[in-house]
Amino acid sequence: MPTTGASGIPFLVAIGKWDNSTRVENAIGYVSLLEAAGNPVEFYLIKMTGHSLSRNHKELTIDMFLRTVGMPY
């Protein structure tokens, strides 16, 4: 369960549909817990991807960083 003091922190959860290390159902459950704790969550189920960092994952991470934190100096 996420700590209650972390409320409001944005999260990105991206999982490959073919992930054989983490069950998609567990990721969905974690998203529900984060949302219940008051955190905005972006959830992506990446098609044709397993338990690896794909180009899609990298692009989603960079996009969210730029939208929530901004350009680094």
Q: What is the pLDDT of residue 34?
A: 95
| pLDDT value at residue 29 | 97
Tens of pLDDT, residue by residue over 8-26, are 889 999 999 999 999 999 9
Residue 2 confidence (pLDDT): 56
Residue 1 clears pLDDT 60, i.e. is over it: no
Q: First vs last Cα of the chain: how many Å apart? A: 34
Give yes or no for a contact between 29 and 62, defined as CB atoms under 8 angstroms apart.
no
Domain boundaries, the chain: 8-44
pTM for this structure? 0.79
CA distance 35 to 59: 23
Cβ–Cβ < 8 Å for 43, 13: yes
Residue-level pLDDT at 48: 84
- Tell me the pLDDT band of 52, cut-offs 50, 70 and 90: confident
Distance, CA of 29 to CA of 66 (rounded, Å): 26
